[in-house]
Structure 1
Amino acid sequence: MQQRYKNLKIAQKGVLISLCAYIILSLLKVIIGQLSHSETLLADGFNNSTDIFSSCAVMVGLRLATCPPDEHHQYGHWKAETIATFLTSLIMLLVGLSVLYTSIRNILAGNHESPDIYALFVGIFSGSLMYGVYFHNAHQAKKINSQSLLAIAKDCRSDAWTSFGTSVTIFAANFNMAWLDGVVAFLIGLLILKTAYDIFSASAFSLSDGFDDDLLEKYVADVEKIPGVELVHNIQGRSYGANVFIDIIIWVDPQMTVRKSHHITEKIESLLQRDYGVFDTDVHVEPWDVDYEPQQPNELNSH
C-alpha cells in the first residue's frame, strides 16, 4: 500500500514538470504569436493553455487519490485521478471548438498575413522541450503504472508534433503560402478535439467500470492452470486509478476441504498480484457443477 502512495507522489512530480513547461510555452507562444501575426502559433499557444488546466486538474486528482480509505470510501479515493482526467477532456473539447471557430472565420475572411520568421524558432524550441518532457514522463508512467501520467506524457508528445508542424507552416508562409497558416490552425483545432475524445473515451470507460476483455482472458487461462481449480465460473474486473480489483468465482471439487480451498484462493491472489500487479482479488469458491456447459472467457464478465 505504501508503494502505491509513493507512486502517486512520483506521478505528481511528473505532472508538475509538465505544468511548468506548459505555462512557459503558452505565454511564449501567445506573445510571439501576436507580435509575429501567426494564427498557427497562437492556436498552439491556446492548446498549451488548456494543458495548464488539464495538468492542474490531474494534480488535484492525484492529491485526492492519496487520501486513505474512510467510512464512505472503503476502496479509497483512487478514482479521483480518473475523474480529473475526465474533466480535463471536457476543457480540451471547449478550447478545440474555439480554435476551430477562429481558424474558419479567418480563412473565410481571407486573413492571410504572413507571420514573421522568428516565430519559427519558437516552434522548434517548443517541440524540442515537449519531446524531452514526454520521454521523461512516459518512462516514469510505465515504471509506476500511472495511467494519468501516461496520458499527460502522450499529450506532451502531441504538443511536440504540433509545435514542429507550426514551424514548418511558418516557414512555408514566408514563401508566398500565407494561406497555409490558417489551414494548419484549423488542423490543430482538430488535433485538440481528437486528443480530447481519446481522453474522454478512456476515462469514461474506466468510470463506468469497463475492463479489458483480453486481460480477463489471460487471468482466466492462468487461474485454471492452478491444481484444484476445475473452472472459472465468473470473473469481473474494475480499475480505481492505477489499481485493479478482481472478483472471481471458481468451481472446485465438492468434496474438497475448506482448508484446501482456502489455499487455492491464496494461490490465485498471489498469482494475479505477482504476474499482473492486481491490487486486490476477491475469490469466491463454489462446488463444481458437472452439468455446466463452459463458456468463452470473454463471456464470463457479462454474468
Structure 2
Amino acid sequence: MANTNQYDAGRNIQIDRQHRLSKLQEASQITWVNLSAYSAIMVAELIIGYLAQITVLIADGLNNLTGVCGAAILIIGLKMSKRPPDSNHVMGHWQYENIAALLSATIMFAVSIQIFVDGVFAVQRFLAGHTIRPNDWSLGVSIIAAIIIGILARFNKTKGIQLKNQALTASGQDLKSDAWTSFGTFLSIGGAYLGAQWLDGVATLIVGCLILHSSISIFRTTIMRLSEGFDPKDIQRYSETISAIPGVLGIEGIEPRWLGDQIVMKIGIYLDDDTDLKTAYAIGEKVEHNLMEKYDILDADVMSYPVSQKDNPHSAD
C-alpha cells in the first residue's frame, strides 16, 4: 500500500528507490555507448554513401541516424525518469521512459518513409540506365557496421533482461534489426560490385520497410503502456499469486498500469466478514509484499471487501 513511511510492505522505500535509480543509471551508461557507436557508423556511411552515390548505404546511414536520435532521446528520458516524486508526480517521473520511446518511434517512422521514397527513385534511376560504382570502402563500412551493431544488440538485450529494463531490451531488439539491415546493405553493395546494379534500389526499399516495421512495433508497445493497456496473461499471473495468500477468499479486481518500466496497481480482495481491521491490513500488506518479491512491482494499493458482498454488483462503489 502506498505510504510515506520508511517501509512499505516490509520493503525499505529509500533503499528500493536507490536500487531502481542505480539500474536506470547503468541503462543510461549503456545508452551512451550505443549513441557513440551509432554516431561513428552513421557519419562514415553517409560520407561514403554520398561520395559513391550508393543509395542503400545512404539509407543505412539514415537508419543509424534514427539510432542516434533514439539513443539521445532515451538518455534524456532516463535522466528525467530519475527525478524524485513531487506534488504533480506523486509516484515519480518514470513515465518519461515511455514518452522517450514514443518520440524515438516517431523519428523512425518519418525516416522510413524518406528511405522508401529514396528507394523508389533509385529503382527509377536503374531503369533509366544509371549505374553505381561501389568501392572497397563502401563494402568495408557496411560489414563493420553490421558486426559492431550486432555485438551491441546482444549486449543491450542481455543487460536489459538482467536489469529488468524494458527500454534496454527494446533497444537490443532495435539494434538487432539494424544489424541485419547493415548486413543486407553489405550484401546489396557486394551484389552491385559484381554487376547486379538493381540491388541498390531494391535493398533500399527493403531497408525502409524494416525500419517502418520496427517503428510500428515500438509504437504499439509504447501506446499500449501510455493508454493504460496491460497483458491479460500477466494479470492472470498476479491473480494466481494473490489467490494463494491465506485469508484471501476472492479477488474483486486488479488494475495494473505502467509507469515507465515500473508497474503499479490497484487491487480489491475479498476477506471473511469477521476479519478485524488489523488482520485485514496485514493480509493487504502480504499481498503487496508477495507481488513485490515475485514481480518487482513498484507499488500496490490493496482494498479489502467483505466476502458477503462478492456477488453484489455495487460492492466496490
| TM-score bracket, shorter-length normalisation | over 0.9
Give the SS at the match of 2:98. helix
Equivalent residue, structure 2, for 1:221: 240
1:291 and 1:240, CA in 2 relative to 1: closer, same or farther beyond 3 A?
A: closer
Q: Letter of the 1:32 partner, please give it.
A: I
The structure 1 residue matched to 2:255, chosen from 231, 236, 244, is 236
Unaligned runs of 5+ in 1: 295-302
Equivalent residue, structure 2, for 1:121: 140
The structure 1 residue matched to 2:183, chosen from 160, 164, 168, is 164
1:35, distance to aligned residue in structure 2 (A) = 2.8
Deviation per CA, 1:57-79: give whole Å up to 9, x if none: 11110010000000111111100
Give the SS at the match of 1:251. strand
Unaligned runs of 5+ in 2: 1-16
Deviating above 4 A after TM superposition, structure 1's stretches of 4 or more consecutive aligned residues are none
* TM-score normalised by structure 2 residue count: 0.90
The structure 2 residue matched to 1:273, chosen from 286, 289, 292, is 292
Percent same amino acid among aligned pairs? 31
1:114, distance to aligned residue in structure 2 (A) = 4.0
1:19 aligned onto 2:25: no
* TM-score normalised by structure 1 residue count: 0.94
1:264 aligned onto 2:283: yes
Equivalent residue, structure 2, for 1:208: 227
Counterparts of 1:70 and 1:109, CA distance in 2: 57
1:293 and 1:171, CA in 2 relative to 1: closer, same or farther beyond 3 A?
A: farther
1:291, distance to aligned residue in structure 2 (A) = 6.2
Give the SS at the match of 1:289. helix
Q: Is the 8 A contact 2:143 2:183 kept in 1?
A: yes
Q: Is the 8 A contact 1:37 1:116 kept in 2?
A: no
1:54, distance to aligned residue in structure 2 (A) = 1.0
Equivalent residue, structure 2, for 1:8: 24
Counterparts of 1:266 and 1:38, CA distance in 2: 62
Q: Letter of the 1:134 partner, please give it.
A: A
Give the SS at the match of 1:75. coil
1:223, distance to aligned residue in structure 2 (A) = 0.7
Equivalent residue, structure 1, for 2:110: 94
Equivalent residue, structure 2, for 1:197: 216
Superposition RMSD in Å? 1.6
Q: Is the 8 A contact 1:112 1:182 kept in 2?
A: no
Q: Is the 8 A contact 1:117 1:174 kept in 2?
A: no
Q: How many residues matched?
A: 295
1:80 aligned onto 2:86: no
